[in-house]
């Protein structure tokens, strides 16, 4: 099980969750943040600090955000635009910094989508 960042984070990227995460498993894409599903230890520290309520425990995802579960995993498991290989599990977001890319699902969202 893992925590998931959904659509309310797109174009917001507040980063309070990044500061709160004790295992550095929240990675920065171009328009949103992504939680690494195997690096996350399910502590829940990120959820209450999110100002837009974009973070959910996997089992608590509302139906309209369920596609974000697979999308968060896809961010790490597929080759994203502008990259030559999948990100995989680099062992912490600080090691790679802001990545400047998103999954196709997020990239295709219109600006200001809510």
Output the domain CATH number for residue 19.
3.30.70.20
- Dig out the tokens for 24 from the structure: 């550095």
54 part of a folded domain? yes
Residue of 76 and 112 predicted with greater confidence = 76
Q: What letter does residue 7 receive in the DSSP assignment?
A: G
Q: How many helices (H) and strands (E) does the chain have?
A: 4, 4
Confidence (pLDDT) at 113: 55
108 part of a folded domain? no
35-75 residue pLDDT tens? 999 999 999 999 999 999 999 999 999 999 999 999 999 99
9-29 residue pLDDT tens? 999 999 999 999 999 999 999
State the residue range of the domain holding 24.
3-84
97 part of a folded domain? no
Say how far residue 14 (Cα) sits from the centre of its chain: 12
Residue 110 CB contacts under 8 Å (≥ 6 apart), including other chains: none
71-106 residue pLDDT tens? 999 999 988 888 889 999 999 999 999 999 999 999
Confidence (pLDDT) at 80: 84
For residues 6 and 109, give the distance between their C-alpha atoms in angstroms, rounded to a whole number: 12
Q: What letter does residue 80 receive in the DSSP assignment?
A: P
55 part of a folded domain? yes
Domain count of the chain?
1
* 107: number of Cβ within 10 Å: 15
Confidence category of residue 114, pLDDT binned at 50, 70, 90: low
114 part of a folded domain? no
90 part of a folded domain? no
- Are the CB atoms for 1 and 58 separated by under 8 Å? yes
104 part of a folded domain? no
For residues 114 and 95, give the distance between their C-alpha atoms in angstroms, rounded to a whole number: 31
Q: Is the pLDDT reported for residue 112 higher than 80?
A: no
44 part of a folded domain? yes
Confidence (pLDDT) at 39: 96
- SS3 category, 84: coil
């Amino acid at each position: 099980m893992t925590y998931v960042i959904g659509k309310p984070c797109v174009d917001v990227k507040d980063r309070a969750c990044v500061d709160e995460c004790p295992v550095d498993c929240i990675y920065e894409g171009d328009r949103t943040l992504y939680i690494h599903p195997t690096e996350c230890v399910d502590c829940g520290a990120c959820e209450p600090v999110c100002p837009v309520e974009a973070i959910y425990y996997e089992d608590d995802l509302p139906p309209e955000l369920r596609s974000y579960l697979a999308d968060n995993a896809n961010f790490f498991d597929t080759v994203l635009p502008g990259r030559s290989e999948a990100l995989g599990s680099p062992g912490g977001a600080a090691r790679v910094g802001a990545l400047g890319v998103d999954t196709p699902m997020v990239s295709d969202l219109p600006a200001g989508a809510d």
